[in-house]
């Protein structure tokens, strides 16, 4: 099955043991390359592992990689400001029309002025024991943290105005296709 721009997909986050963590029910594919996929969702329904459902408000542009251990979510607020939210996570894989990745707990949040904060170190430490993360996974997680820190420090994508603008323009180009 070939996924292409304009298609609707589901996004699922899993834990290391394969258990369900969270799902975004409908996201629109904006761009697909051999290395990554960029999707958009607006006011999307999110399902949590405990069965709760909620609406994630506003526009989010989500970049997933085939060979990097992180994904990036560019969040826009009502006023048009943006911030980045990066999950340390496995490269994605497909199951039908569902994009699946494993969440490895640590997150990076960056505001539009590039002020940043790492989140959930304790969760990573707890889950390292709970799920028995192998040394290879812990190594990939640490490399991803270093890569994101370096990219932020050097002002490289995804922490650039061009990434923000290009993603938003790609979203606008598909906006005439119903986002709901």
Catalytic (active-site) positions: 22
Tokens of 74: 């560019």
If you count them, how many residues does the chain have?
A: 180
**CB-CB neighbours of 169 under 10 Å:** 10
Tokens of 28: 């629109």
For the chain, list the strands marked E by DSSP. Answer: 8-14, 20-32, 36-48, 53-65, 70-76, 82-89, 93-95, 98-111, 116-119
- Do the Cβ atoms of 30 and 39 come closer than 8 Å? yes
Cβ contacts of 97 within 8 Å, gap of 6 or more: 1, 3, 7, 8, 9, 10
Q: Considering only CA atoms, which of 177, 173, 158 is closest in space to residue 68?
A: 158
């Amino acid at each position: 099955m070939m996924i292409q721009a304009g298609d609707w997909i589901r996004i699922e986050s899993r834990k290391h043991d394969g258990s369900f963590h969270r799902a975004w029910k409908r996201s629109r594919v904006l761009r697909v390359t051999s290395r990554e996929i960029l999707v958009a969702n607006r006011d999307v329904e999110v399902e949590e592992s405990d069965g709760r459902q909620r609406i994630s408000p506003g526009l989010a542009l989500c970049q997933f990689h085939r060979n990097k251990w992180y994904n990036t979510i560019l969040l826009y607020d009502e006023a048009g400001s943006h911030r980045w939210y990066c999950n340390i996570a496995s490269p994605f894989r497909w199951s039908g029309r569902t994009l699946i990745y494993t969440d490895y707990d640590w997150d990076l949040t960056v505001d539009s002025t590039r002020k940043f904060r790492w989140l959930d170190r304790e969760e990573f430490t707890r889950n390292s024991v709970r799920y028995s993360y192998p040394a290879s996974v812990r190594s990939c997680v640490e490399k991803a943290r270093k890569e994101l820190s370096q990219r932020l420090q050097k002002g490289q994508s995804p922490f650039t105005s061009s990434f923000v603008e290009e993603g938003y323009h790609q979203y606008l180009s598909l906006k005439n296709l119903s986002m709901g």
